[in-house]
């Protein structure tokens, strides 16, 4: 199959490309950055911007599948920046797929599209979008997810959305480096009672779920298509015990001090107002979204992904943690 992967230079996109190449697919990578290592491995690369419809008109024809992982993530920044890169770019990709008879579109979404600030304990995909979002990233991802799923149509373009939660692993430039940096500088506090349970997913498993989705859309579209799926390790952990384990594994003092969720949330709300009033573009040291993410349960029922996509984690938590030891994160 000829598979186009957007965001191929990103953490997840790179692993999806590697797994597709390993099984012999013809892979075309789209990104704004060069990826010489993936090109050496056999990927065809086209550098460009998904907001450029002429660019998409050149690179999408001939594709059987598009895996759309490219997005702007974060908890702070202008609405228009998130809307353009997460919604408008996805609309352009959807249009390009429909105009060029692409048969499958796998969209990388996020569990945060269902998060409104309350505990989510073993929830499934019936969890609705919240009435109010705590930051622009999940809001814009929810808009794109809904539009892509609504575009699913039998005998034409079949679509699914995957929601991998807290992706981590070797070469992680985001989650683990950020946690370790804040802990190393003494700026990480346990928020709440420290008893919240979370799901995570190793990048190997998150990428494999995308290949599962491609195969399910090819072989049983009537069961797989038109739906969103939570993707996790299927091994919920205590958030702060897991963070402590990561810190100890990397010889970083784990957080000991704590702050109540209510206090952290109020601080986040105050800082957000100050940053908006003053026009500061840097991320506040605390936001309402971050406070809630670090204090609330986030665990998910992945029965649908198992039953409809054939998803099974390829490596468990202990094996995943060993990959960090053998190949330390290179993120800054």
Would you say 12 and 231 are in contact if contact means Cβ atoms under 8 Å apart? no
What residue has token string 């999408």?
60
Q: 271 is written with which tokens?
A: 């800082």
Residues composing the chain: 332
Q: Using the 8-state DSSP alphabet, how is residue 21 labeled?
A: H
The dihedral sign for the CA sequence 51, 55, 57, 61: negative
Sheet holding 65-68, edge to edge: 44-47, 26-31, 2-6, 65-68, 104-108, 158-164, 227-231
Indicate the SS3 state at residue 175. helix
Q: Which two tokens stand for residue 165?
A: 């939660």
Tokens of 103: 């048969």
**Active-site residue, selected from the candidate residues 82, 137, 229, 311:** 137
Identify which of 54, 11, 5, 57 has the alpha carbon closest to the alpha carbon of residue 31: 5
Backbone φ and ψ for 220, nearest 5 degrees, come out as: -145, 60
What sign has the CA pseudo-torsion 144, 168, 233, 124?
negative
Half-sphere exposure of 261 (CA within 13 A, CB side): 16
CB 123 within 8 A of CB 165: no
Residues contacting residue 205 through CB under 8 Å, at least 6 positions apart: 231, 233, 313, 314, 315, 320
Sign, CA torsion 45/47/51/53: negative
Look up 229 and say whether it is catalytic.
Answer: no
DSSP conformational letter for 131? S
Pairwise CA distance, residues 153 & 157, whole Å: 6
Active site residues: 137
């Amino acid at each position: 199959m000829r598979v186009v992967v957007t965001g191929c230079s990103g953490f997840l996109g790179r692993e999806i490309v590697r797994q597709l190449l390993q099984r012999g697919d013809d892979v075309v990578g789209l990104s704004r950055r060069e990826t010489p290592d993936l090109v050496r491995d056999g990927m065809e690369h086209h550098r460009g911007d998904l907001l450029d419809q002429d660019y998409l008109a050149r690179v999408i024809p001939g594709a059987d599948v598009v895996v759309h992982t490219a997005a702007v993530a974060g908890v702070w920044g202008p609405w228009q920046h998130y809307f353009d890169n997460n919604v408008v770019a996805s609309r352009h990709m959807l249009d390009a797929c429909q105009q060029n008879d692409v048969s499958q579109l796998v969209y990388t979404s996020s569990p945060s599209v269902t998060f409104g600030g309350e505990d989510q304990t073993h929830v499934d995909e019936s969890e609705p979008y919240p009435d109010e979002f705590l930051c622009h990233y999940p809001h814009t991802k929810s808009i794109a997810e809904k539009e892509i799923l609504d575009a699913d149509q039998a005998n034409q373009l079949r679509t699914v959305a995957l929601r991998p939660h807290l992706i981590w692993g070797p070469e992680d430039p985001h989650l683990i480096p950020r946690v370790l940096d804040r802990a190393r500088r003494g700026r990480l506090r346990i928020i709440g009672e420290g008893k919240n349970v979370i799901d995570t997913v190793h990048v190997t498993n998150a990428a494999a779920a995308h290949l599962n989705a491609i195969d399910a859309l090819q072989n049983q579209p009537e069961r797989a298509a038109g739906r969103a799926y939570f993707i996790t390790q299927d091994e919920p952990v205590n958030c702060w015990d897991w963070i402590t384990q990561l810190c100890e594994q990397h010889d970083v003092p784990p957080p000991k001090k704590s702050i109540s969720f209510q206090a952290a949330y109020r601080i986040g709300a105050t800082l957000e107002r100050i940053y908006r009033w003053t026009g500061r573009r840097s991320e506040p040291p605390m936001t309402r979204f971050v406070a809630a993410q670090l204090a609330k349960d986030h665990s998910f029922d992945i029965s649908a992904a198992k039953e409809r996509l054939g998803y099974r984690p390829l490596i468990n938590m202990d094996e995943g943690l060993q990959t960090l030891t053998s190949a330390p994160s290179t993120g800054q």
